[in-house]
A and B are shown apart, each in its own frame.
Chain A
């Protein structure tokens, strides 16, 4: 158990809908990362928040947005869902902001299925 929790574990929804994925980082970790894992694209970095502020952005679609709240939990919002958004979404957390100083611990993921 990494100490990172993600809810829900599974999510099935229809095209055009909007969903929210939630992540609670390990106690004391200030950074939260979101990654998308699909069969054809592998693990792709979406976005990083550090202590409530956006720190880095990857190839995140404009239909996707995220935020980190004062209690450090994070939410990833996916809207106008398309079939191609079906994937595993992982949240990871680390103590600080940079990879050279700390390890990223991954949660168990949320499996999103868009029908």
Chain B
């Protein structure tokens, strides 16, 4: 059972464009939604995270939009750059006394110069 569904699987964007990656979750007990960025040969690194009590969070060119009623959240990368080319994972956690993360399947982003 896949609790966090991510789309698209891959994405090609021109430099300067907007990259959008979507995730949907099933478990309403999730209360923490991070996005991780992974470059080839490296471990995932936290990019930005949101809690369900806010609908949007922005950090530089990266924005998370959160729709609690639809159980969906998305990552927007504005002014995409070739250096943003990486695999992006959304994740969710129930919090409490464990940090167990449930990850989406990942999106490979290629930003063309």
Contact = CB atoms under 8 A, between A and B. Distances in A.
Contact of B99 (A4, A44, A97): A97
A103 interface: yes
B8 interface: no
Given A42-B105, A43-B89, A99-B32, A33 B99 contact: yes
Interface residues of B, number: 27
Q: Chain B interface mostly helix, strand, loop or mixed?
A: loop
A35 B99 CA distance: 12
B105 A98 contact: no
Contacts, number: 79
B26 interface: no
B89 A100 contact: no
Contacts of B46: 103-105
13 contacts: A2-B45, A42-B103, A43-B91, A55-B98, A90-B43, A94-B99, A97-B97, A99-B32, A99-B98, A99-B99, A103-B49, A104-B99, A106-B36
Interface residues of A, number: 29
Most chain A CB inside 10 Å of its own CB: which residue of B43, B98, B101, B104: B43
Contacts of B16: none
Interface of B: 31-32, 34, 36, 41-46, 49, 51, 89, 91, 93, 95-106
Given A90-B44, A108-B43, A98 B95 contact: yes
